Amino acid sequence: MLARRINLKITTNYLKAVNYVTKPPKPEIPKNPLADVYSASNQQTNGVIYDKKPFKIMLEAGKTYSWCLCGRSKSQPMCDGTHRDVFLKVTQRPIRFQVEKTKEYWLCNCKQTKNRPFCDGAHKQKEIQEAFVRV
Ligand code: FES
């Protein structure tokens, strides 16, 4: 028994010494530097759920993009102007955004994120995963 305890303690100390991490660190969610510039960023309503998972895309630093909030664009996750169709009666407008570094980002496709346009994990909620998505 004592040998077992000693063995366990040695193993635990070894894992601490090699900085063993069981879970990878959570990815940092980027911020939109244009969030305070455009009033569209403050819209209260979210669009329809386009997809139940985020979209990975390469974005260039300093370039301005328009992320679809209404969920009806045909070129997701970016806006294609579909929200202007008067017959659809869409009330949401696209979110203009920039990134600070050129790299790949996860953009929200469920349109329910609280950190527009970046995925914040809201798509994992049960209501979103069980929601009906039109094809
Ligand atoms: S896809 Fe919308 S929060 Fe992740």
> In whole angstroms, what is the distance from residue 96 CA to residue 93 CA?
9
CA distances from 21 to 5, 18, 29 (A): 22, 9, 21
Ligand 1 nearest atom to the CA of residue 110, by list position: 2
Determine whether the shortest distance from the Cβ of 119 to ligand 1 is under 6 A.
Answer: yes
Q: What pLDDT, in 10s, does the model give residues 107-117?
A: 999 999 999 99
Indicate whether residue 49 lines ligand 1 (CB < 6 A): no
DSSP, collapsed to helix, strand or coil, labels residue 7 as helix
Atom from ligand 1 closest to the CA of residue 51: 1
What mean pLDDT is reported for the chain? 88
Instruction: Give dist(CA 54, CA 59) in Å, integer.
Output: 15
Asked if residue 18 has pLDDT above 80, the reply is no
How far is the centre of ligand 1, averaged over its atoms, from the C-alpha of 4 (Å)? 46
pLDDT at 17: 61
Half-sphere exposure of 34 (CA within 13 A, CB side): 20
Q: What is the pLDDT of residues 55-70, one digit of tens each?
A: 999 999 999 999 999 9
Looking at residues 61-89, what average pLDDT do you find? 95
Which of 54, 30, 39, 29 lies closest to 96, judged by CA?
A: 39
Instruction: Check pocket membership of 120 for ligand 1, CB cut-off 6 A.
Output: yes
pTM of the complete model: 0.79
Of the chain, the percentage scoring pLDDT greater than 90 comes to 70
